[in-house]
Amino acid sequence: MKVTSHELLPWTEAAFDTFFSSQERRAHAYMLAGHSGLGKTIFAQQLAKSLLCQEEEKHACGQCQSCRLFESGSHPDLHVLQCEKRMVEIEDLFAIYAPRYLEDENKRKKRKKPSAIIAIDQVRRVIPDINTRPHLSACRLILINTAEDLNINAANSLLKSLEEPPSDSYFILISHDPCRLLPTLRSRCNWIDFRPPDKQQAMHWLSTQLADQVDISQLLDRASGIPLRALKIANGTRHSDERQVTQQMLQLAHRQIDPTSAAAVMIKTGELKSILETIQLWLSRLIRLKISSQNTTLPKKEGDKPLIDLGNRLNFRQLYAFLDKVSKSKQLAGGPLDPLLALEDDLISWQAMFSK
Ligand SMILES: [Zn+2]
Protein backbone atom coordinates (compact mmCIF):
# COMPACT_ATOMS: atom_id res chain seq x y z
CA MET A 1 0.00 0.00 0.00
CA LYS A 2 1.35 3.40 -0.95
CA VAL A 3 0.95 6.12 1.64
CA THR A 4 1.28 9.81 0.94
CA SER A 5 3.56 11.52 3.41
CA HIS A 6 2.59 14.89 4.78
CA GLU A 7 4.61 18.05 4.84
CA LEU A 8 5.79 19.17 8.23
CA LEU A 9 3.32 21.70 9.64
CA PRO A 10 4.84 25.20 9.75
CA TRP A 11 4.57 25.71 13.52
CA THR A 12 6.52 22.48 14.14
CA GLU A 13 9.46 23.36 11.88
CA ALA A 14 11.51 25.04 14.62
CA ALA A 15 11.39 21.91 16.80
CA PHE A 16 12.44 19.84 13.79
CA ASP A 17 15.41 22.15 13.16
CA THR A 18 16.43 21.93 16.81
CA PHE A 19 16.35 18.15 16.71
CA PHE A 20 18.74 18.04 13.77
CA SER A 21 20.95 20.95 14.86
CA SER A 22 23.31 18.84 16.92
CA GLN A 23 23.90 15.16 16.45
CA GLU A 24 26.22 14.96 19.50
CA ARG A 25 23.66 16.28 21.93
CA ARG A 26 20.86 14.19 20.53
CA ALA A 27 19.15 11.94 23.05
CA HIS A 28 17.77 8.50 22.30
CA ALA A 29 14.30 8.82 23.78
CA TYR A 30 11.88 11.61 22.92
CA MET A 31 8.38 12.40 24.06
CA LEU A 32 6.32 14.39 21.57
CA ALA A 33 3.73 15.87 23.90
CA GLY A 34 0.73 18.11 23.39
CA HIS A 35 -2.95 18.21 22.51
CA SER A 36 -4.25 16.16 19.66
CA GLY A 37 -4.42 18.23 16.48
CA LEU A 38 -1.06 20.00 16.66
CA GLY A 39 0.82 17.87 14.15
CA LYS A 40 2.76 15.44 16.36
CA THR A 41 2.04 12.41 14.20
CA ILE A 42 3.15 14.16 11.02
CA PHE A 43 6.23 15.36 12.89
CA ALA A 44 7.01 11.80 14.03
CA GLN A 45 6.61 10.49 10.49
CA GLN A 46 8.96 13.09 9.05
CA LEU A 47 11.43 12.54 11.87
CA ALA A 48 11.42 8.78 11.33
CA LYS A 49 11.76 9.08 7.58
CA SER A 50 14.67 11.54 7.88
CA LEU A 51 16.55 9.54 10.51
CA LEU A 52 16.23 6.38 8.43
CA CYS A 53 17.07 7.96 5.05
CA GLN A 54 20.33 6.63 3.61
CA GLU A 55 21.21 9.80 1.71
CA GLU A 56 20.23 12.93 3.62
CA GLU A 57 20.55 13.79 7.29
CA LYS A 58 17.66 16.19 7.84
CA HIS A 59 15.37 16.18 4.84
CA ALA A 60 14.65 12.66 3.68
CA CYS A 61 15.60 12.34 0.01
CA GLY A 62 12.46 10.40 -0.95
CA GLN A 63 14.48 8.38 -3.48
CA CYS A 64 16.71 5.94 -1.62
CA GLN A 65 15.71 2.39 -0.77
CA SER A 66 15.00 3.40 2.82
CA CYS A 67 12.67 6.24 1.82
CA ARG A 68 10.82 4.03 -0.63
CA LEU A 69 10.36 1.22 1.88
CA PHE A 70 9.31 3.73 4.52
CA GLU A 71 6.56 5.11 2.31
CA SER A 72 5.34 1.69 1.30
CA GLY A 73 4.91 0.70 4.94
CA SER A 74 7.60 -1.99 5.00
CA HIS A 75 10.80 -0.45 6.39
CA PRO A 76 12.49 -3.15 8.50
CA ASP A 77 13.99 -0.63 10.96
CA LEU A 78 10.77 1.12 11.92
CA HIS A 79 9.00 -0.59 14.79
CA VAL A 80 5.58 0.76 15.72
CA LEU A 81 3.71 -0.07 18.89
CA GLN A 82 0.05 0.90 18.86
CA CYS A 83 -3.09 -0.46 20.40
CA GLU A 84 -5.46 -2.28 18.10
CA LYS A 85 -8.19 0.34 18.53
CA ARG A 86 -5.99 3.15 17.24
CA MET A 87 -4.80 0.99 14.37
CA VAL A 88 -8.38 0.28 13.30
CA GLU A 89 -9.68 3.82 13.75
CA ILE A 90 -6.88 5.91 12.30
CA GLU A 91 -5.72 4.84 8.88
CA ASP A 92 -2.31 6.43 8.69
CA LEU A 93 1.18 5.23 7.88
CA PHE A 94 1.77 3.96 11.41
CA ALA A 95 -1.35 1.78 11.25
CA ILE A 96 0.31 -0.13 8.41
CA TYR A 97 3.34 -0.88 10.60
CA ALA A 98 1.34 -1.69 13.73
CA PRO A 99 0.15 -5.28 13.02
CA ARG A 100 3.69 -6.65 13.44
CA TYR A 101 3.57 -6.15 17.21
CA LEU A 102 -0.12 -6.50 17.92
CA GLU A 103 -1.11 -8.96 20.57
CA ASP A 104 -1.49 -12.62 19.79
CA GLU A 105 -4.38 -13.23 17.39
CA ASN A 106 -6.10 -15.74 19.69
CA LYS A 107 -6.20 -13.16 22.46
CA ARG A 108 -7.58 -10.55 20.12
CA LYS A 109 -10.30 -12.83 18.78
CA LYS A 110 -11.67 -13.39 22.28
CA ARG A 111 -12.39 -9.68 22.72
CA LYS A 112 -15.62 -8.09 21.59
CA LYS A 113 -13.95 -4.75 20.86
CA PRO A 114 -10.43 -3.86 19.70
CA SER A 115 -8.09 -3.34 22.64
CA ALA A 116 -7.37 0.26 23.67
CA ILE A 117 -4.11 -0.54 25.47
CA ILE A 118 -0.58 -1.46 24.51
CA ALA A 119 0.03 -4.65 26.47
CA ILE A 120 3.25 -6.03 27.93
CA ASP A 121 3.32 -8.79 25.29
CA GLN A 122 3.70 -6.16 22.62
CA VAL A 123 6.65 -4.52 24.38
CA ARG A 124 8.27 -7.90 25.04
CA ARG A 125 8.08 -8.76 21.37
CA VAL A 126 9.75 -5.56 20.22
CA ILE A 127 12.69 -5.69 22.67
CA PRO A 128 14.61 -8.61 21.09
CA ASP A 129 14.32 -6.87 17.71
CA ILE A 130 16.05 -3.75 18.99
CA ASN A 131 19.01 -5.65 20.34
CA THR A 132 20.15 -6.69 16.88
CA ARG A 133 21.81 -4.42 14.32
CA PRO A 134 19.58 -2.31 12.06
CA HIS A 135 18.79 -4.13 8.81
CA LEU A 136 19.03 -1.32 6.31
CA SER A 137 19.48 2.15 7.78
CA ALA A 138 22.13 3.53 10.12
CA CYS A 139 19.68 3.46 13.01
CA ARG A 140 16.32 2.05 13.99
CA LEU A 141 13.23 3.69 15.43
CA ILE A 142 10.78 2.43 17.98
CA LEU A 143 7.67 4.52 17.80
CA ILE A 144 5.08 4.35 20.54
CA ASN A 145 1.76 5.83 19.55
CA THR A 146 0.56 6.75 22.11
CA ALA A 147 2.47 6.51 25.38
CA GLU A 148 -0.69 6.81 27.48
CA ASP A 149 -1.98 3.60 25.89
CA LEU A 150 0.82 1.60 27.56
CA ASN A 151 -0.59 -0.16 30.59
CA ILE A 152 1.49 -0.16 33.78
CA ASN A 153 3.21 -3.47 33.09
CA ALA A 154 4.00 -2.51 29.52
CA ALA A 155 5.38 0.87 30.61
CA ASN A 156 7.55 -0.71 33.30
CA SER A 157 8.86 -3.27 30.90
CA LEU A 158 9.86 -0.49 28.53
CA LEU A 159 11.72 1.57 31.14
CA LYS A 160 14.98 -0.35 31.08
CA SER A 161 15.30 -0.03 27.31
CA LEU A 162 14.56 3.67 27.58
CA GLU A 163 17.26 4.06 30.20
CA GLU A 164 19.96 2.24 28.27
CA PRO A 165 18.92 2.29 24.65
CA PRO A 166 21.23 0.67 22.09
CA SER A 167 23.35 3.43 20.53
CA ASP A 168 21.79 2.97 17.11
CA SER A 169 18.19 3.21 18.36
CA TYR A 170 15.73 6.03 18.88
CA PHE A 171 12.57 5.81 20.92
CA ILE A 172 9.89 8.25 19.85
CA LEU A 173 6.85 8.38 22.11
CA ILE A 174 3.75 10.37 21.22
CA SER A 175 1.43 11.61 23.96
CA HIS A 176 -1.78 13.58 23.56
CA ASP A 177 -2.32 13.48 27.30
CA PRO A 178 1.04 13.51 29.11
CA CYS A 179 -0.57 14.03 32.54
CA ARG A 180 -1.62 10.39 32.42
CA LEU A 181 1.93 9.06 32.06
CA LEU A 182 3.95 7.35 34.78
CA PRO A 183 6.49 9.77 36.30
CA THR A 184 9.27 7.27 35.59
CA LEU A 185 8.33 7.17 31.92
CA ARG A 186 8.13 10.94 31.74
CA SER A 187 11.52 11.47 33.31
CA ARG A 188 13.36 9.12 30.96
CA CYS A 189 12.44 11.02 27.82
CA ASN A 190 13.56 14.32 26.34
CA TRP A 191 10.48 16.41 25.76
CA ILE A 192 9.40 18.15 22.62
CA ASP A 193 6.36 20.21 23.58
CA PHE A 194 3.72 20.98 20.99
CA ARG A 195 1.67 24.09 21.68
CA PRO A 196 -0.97 25.87 19.60
CA PRO A 197 0.73 28.28 17.17
CA ASP A 198 0.01 31.99 17.42
CA LYS A 199 -3.31 32.89 15.86
CA GLN A 200 -1.78 34.69 12.90
CA GLN A 201 0.21 31.65 11.84
CA ALA A 202 -2.69 29.27 12.44
CA MET A 203 -5.05 31.47 10.43
CA HIS A 204 -2.59 31.76 7.59
CA TRP A 205 -2.18 28.00 7.41
CA LEU A 206 -5.94 27.38 7.62
CA SER A 207 -6.52 29.91 4.85
CA THR A 208 -4.46 27.67 2.57
CA GLN A 209 -6.63 24.67 3.49
CA LEU A 210 -10.15 26.11 3.43
CA ALA A 211 -12.49 27.98 1.09
CA ASP A 212 -12.25 31.78 1.13
CA GLN A 213 -15.67 32.36 2.64
CA VAL A 214 -15.00 30.48 5.87
CA ASP A 215 -14.65 32.65 8.98
CA ILE A 216 -11.28 31.23 10.00
CA SER A 217 -10.90 33.34 13.09
CA GLN A 218 -14.21 32.12 14.50
CA LEU A 219 -13.47 28.55 13.46
CA LEU A 220 -10.12 28.62 15.22
CA ASP A 221 -11.78 29.94 18.37
CA ARG A 222 -14.23 27.06 18.29
CA ALA A 223 -11.24 24.71 18.04
CA SER A 224 -9.39 26.29 20.98
CA GLY A 225 -6.68 27.52 18.63
CA ILE A 226 -5.73 24.00 17.49
CA PRO A 227 -5.37 24.10 13.71
CA LEU A 228 -6.04 20.46 12.79
CA ARG A 229 -9.06 20.43 15.08
CA ALA A 230 -10.35 23.55 13.32
CA LEU A 231 -9.89 21.81 10.00
CA LYS A 232 -11.88 18.82 11.23
CA ILE A 233 -14.72 21.03 12.45
CA ALA A 234 -14.72 22.89 9.15
CA ASN A 235 -14.78 19.75 7.04
CA GLY A 236 -17.21 17.90 9.27
CA THR A 237 -19.82 20.58 9.66
CA ARG A 238 -19.53 21.87 6.14
CA HIS A 239 -19.93 18.40 4.81
CA SER A 240 -23.18 17.67 6.62
CA ASP A 241 -24.62 21.15 6.11
CA GLU A 242 -23.75 21.14 2.46
CA ARG A 243 -25.50 17.85 1.90
CA GLN A 244 -28.59 19.26 3.58
CA VAL A 245 -28.40 22.43 1.51
CA THR A 246 -27.92 20.51 -1.75
CA GLN A 247 -30.98 18.43 -1.05
CA GLN A 248 -33.23 21.39 -0.21
CA MET A 249 -32.02 23.54 -3.10
CA LEU A 250 -32.56 20.71 -5.60
CA GLN A 251 -36.02 19.97 -4.26
CA LEU A 252 -36.93 23.65 -4.45
CA ALA A 253 -35.77 23.84 -8.06
CA HIS A 254 -37.84 20.78 -8.93
CA ARG A 255 -40.80 22.19 -6.96
CA GLN A 256 -40.91 19.17 -4.70
CA ILE A 257 -40.96 21.37 -1.60
CA ASP A 258 -42.16 24.90 -0.85
CA PRO A 259 -39.80 27.61 0.47
CA THR A 260 -41.46 27.76 3.90
CA SER A 261 -40.92 24.05 4.53
CA ALA A 262 -37.38 24.10 3.12
CA ALA A 263 -36.46 27.05 5.36
CA ALA A 264 -37.89 25.23 8.38
CA VAL A 265 -35.75 22.16 7.61
CA MET A 266 -32.58 24.19 7.09
CA ILE A 267 -32.94 26.38 10.16
CA LYS A 268 -32.78 23.29 12.35
CA THR A 269 -29.19 22.67 11.24
CA GLY A 270 -27.68 25.86 12.63
CA GLU A 271 -27.70 29.63 12.84
CA LEU A 272 -28.93 31.68 9.88
CA LYS A 273 -25.45 33.04 9.22
CA SER A 274 -23.84 29.62 8.94
CA ILE A 275 -26.68 28.32 6.74
CA LEU A 276 -26.29 31.27 4.38
CA GLU A 277 -22.56 30.69 4.36
CA THR A 278 -23.13 27.09 3.36
CA ILE A 279 -25.52 28.23 0.60
CA GLN A 280 -22.81 30.64 -0.60
CA LEU A 281 -20.22 27.85 -0.68
CA TRP A 282 -22.67 25.57 -2.43
CA LEU A 283 -23.49 28.23 -5.05
CA SER A 284 -19.79 28.83 -5.66
CA ARG A 285 -19.40 25.13 -6.30
CA LEU A 286 -22.41 25.15 -8.62
CA ILE A 287 -20.88 28.01 -10.60
CA ARG A 288 -17.50 26.26 -10.80
CA LEU A 289 -19.21 23.09 -12.02
CA LYS A 290 -21.16 25.05 -14.62
CA ILE A 291 -17.93 26.61 -15.90
CA SER A 292 -16.06 23.31 -16.01
CA SER A 293 -19.01 21.48 -17.62
CA GLN A 294 -18.69 23.81 -20.61
CA ASN A 295 -15.23 22.41 -21.16
CA THR A 296 -16.02 19.04 -22.72
CA THR A 297 -12.48 17.72 -22.27
CA LEU A 298 -12.61 17.82 -18.45
CA PRO A 299 -13.63 14.59 -16.71
CA LYS A 300 -16.95 14.73 -14.85
CA LYS A 301 -17.90 12.98 -11.65
CA GLU A 302 -21.16 11.03 -11.73
CA GLY A 303 -22.23 12.54 -8.38
CA ASP A 304 -21.99 16.07 -9.81
CA LYS A 305 -24.53 15.44 -12.55
CA PRO A 306 -27.65 16.72 -10.69
CA LEU A 307 -25.81 19.96 -9.91
CA ILE A 308 -24.51 20.38 -13.45
CA ASP A 309 -28.04 19.87 -14.80
CA LEU A 310 -29.35 22.39 -12.31
CA GLY A 311 -26.66 24.92 -13.21
CA ASN A 312 -27.53 24.53 -16.88
CA ARG A 313 -31.11 25.63 -16.22
CA LEU A 314 -29.83 29.08 -15.18
CA ASN A 315 -27.53 31.60 -16.76
CA PHE A 316 -24.48 33.08 -15.03
CA ARG A 317 -26.20 36.45 -14.51
CA GLN A 318 -28.99 34.75 -12.52
CA LEU A 319 -26.53 32.70 -10.48
CA TYR A 320 -24.36 35.69 -9.56
CA ALA A 321 -27.43 37.80 -8.74
CA PHE A 322 -28.64 35.13 -6.33
CA LEU A 323 -25.18 34.75 -4.82
CA ASP A 324 -25.20 38.50 -4.27
CA LYS A 325 -28.60 38.35 -2.58
CA VAL A 326 -27.43 35.60 -0.24
CA SER A 327 -24.27 37.57 0.61
CA LYS A 328 -26.38 40.61 1.53
CA SER A 329 -28.68 38.49 3.70
CA LYS A 330 -25.65 37.09 5.45
CA GLN A 331 -24.45 40.58 6.33
CA LEU A 332 -27.84 41.28 7.90
CA ALA A 333 -28.01 37.97 9.75
CA GLY A 334 -27.77 38.33 13.49
CA GLY A 335 -29.65 41.66 13.31
CA PRO A 336 -33.32 42.29 14.07
CA LEU A 337 -34.57 40.16 11.15
CA ASP A 338 -36.51 37.01 11.90
CA PRO A 339 -34.07 34.29 10.73
CA LEU A 340 -36.78 31.97 9.42
CA LEU A 341 -38.48 34.71 7.40
CA ALA A 342 -35.15 35.98 6.06
CA LEU A 343 -34.16 32.52 4.87
CA GLU A 344 -37.61 31.92 3.41
CA ASP A 345 -37.32 35.15 1.43
CA ASP A 346 -34.07 33.97 -0.18
CA LEU A 347 -35.49 30.55 -0.94
CA ILE A 348 -38.58 32.12 -2.59
CA SER A 349 -36.21 34.01 -4.90
CA TRP A 350 -34.33 30.81 -5.64
CA GLN A 351 -37.43 28.84 -6.55
CA ALA A 352 -38.81 31.70 -8.66
CA MET A 353 -35.80 31.41 -10.98
CA PHE A 354 -37.00 28.00 -12.13
CA SER A 355 -39.98 28.19 -14.43
CA LYS A 356 -42.90 25.88 -13.75
ZN1 LIG B 1 16.20 8.72 1.41
1 domain residue, yes or no: no
- pLDDT for 142 equals 96
At residue 3, the pLDDT reads: 35
Q: How far away, in angstroms, is 75 Cα from ligand 1 center?
A: 12
Structural domain count of the chain: 2
Domain assignment present for residue 3? The answer is: no
**185 and 54 co-located in one domain:** yes
Which has the closest alpha carbon to 241: 207, 267, 212, 210? 267
Cα of 49 vs centre of ligand 1, distance in Å, is 8
Question: Do 29 and 67 sit in the same domain of this protein?
Answer: yes
Are residues 240 and 348 both part of a single domain? yes
80 CA → ligand 1 middle, Å = 20
Say yes or no: 156 and 247 in one domain.
no
CA distances from 74 to 3, 19, 68, 248 (A): 11, 25, 9, 47
Which H or E run contains 355?
none
Q: Does residue 275 lie in a domain region?
A: yes
pLDDT in tens, the chain (356 residues): 333 346 899 999 999 999 999 777 889 999 999 988 899 999 999 999 999 999 988 889 999 999 999 988 899 999 999 998 888 878 788 888 998 898 777 777 788 788 889 999 999 999 988 888 999 999 999 999 999 999 999 999 999 889 888 889 999 999 988 877 899 999 999 999 999 899 999 999 999 988 777 889 888 877 778 899 888 888 775 444 566 788 899 999 999 999 999 999 888 877 787 788 778 878 887 888 888 887 777 667 777 888 899 999 999 999 999 999 998 888 777 677 788 999 999 999 999 999 76
Q: Let me know if residue 4 belongs to a domain.
A: no
**The predicted structure's pLDDT at residue 299:** 66
Name the DSSP class of 149: G
Domain-ending residue, one of 195, 220, 249: 195
The residues that bridge with 6 in the sheet, in sequence order, are none
Whether 182 and 214 map to the same domain: the answer is no
Q: How far apart are the CA of 122 and the centre of ligand 1, in A? A: 29
Query: What was the pLDDT predicted at 4?
Result: 38
Do 181 and 311 share a domain, yes or no? no
**Residue 219 Cα, ligand 1 centroid: separation in angstroms?**
38
| Same domain, residue pair 156 and 237 | no
278's CB contacts (< 8 A; 6+ apart) are 238, 241, 242, 244, 245
Structural domain for 24, as ranges = 10-195
CA angle 25, 27, 28 (to 5 degrees): 150
What Cα–Cα distance (Å) separates residue 80 from each residue in 98, 223, 298?
5, 29, 42
Q: 159 and 19, same structural domain? A: yes
Report the pLDDT value the prediction gives residue 237, as an integer from 0 to 100: 52
Are both 189 and 235 inside the same structural domain?
Answer: no
User: Do 267 and 330 share a structural domain?
Assistant: yes
| Ligand 1 centroid, distance to 86 Cα (angstroms) | 28
* Distance, CA of 218 to CA of 129 (rounded, Å): 48
Asked whether the ipTM of the predicted complex exceeds the cut of 0.95, the reply is: yes
DSSP string, 254-294: TTSS-HHHHHHHHHTTS-HHHHHHHHHHHHHHHHHHHHHHT
Tell me whether residue 67 is in a domain: yes
| Cα 68 to middle of ligand 1, angstroms | 7
Distance 63 CA to ligand 1 centre (A): 5
Same domain flag for 110 and 125? yes
What is the CATH classification number for the domain harbouring 174? 3.40.50.300
Q: How far is CA 280 from CA 218, 249, 291, 327, 346, in A?
A: 17, 12, 17, 7, 12
Instruction: Give distance in angstroms: CA of 92 to centre of ligand 1.
Output: 20
Contact between 271 and 340 under an 8 Å Cβ cutoff? The reply is no
CA 61 – ligand 1 centroid, Å: 4
43 within some domain? yes
Residue 70 CA to ligand 1 centre (angstroms): 9
| Pairing assessment for the beta strands 140-145 and 78-81 based on DSSP bridges | parallel
CATH classification at residue 337: 1.20.272
How many helices (H) and strands (E) would you count in the chain?
17, 5
Q: Clarify whether residues 309 and 328 are in a common domain.
A: yes
> What are residue 140's DSSP bridge partners?
169
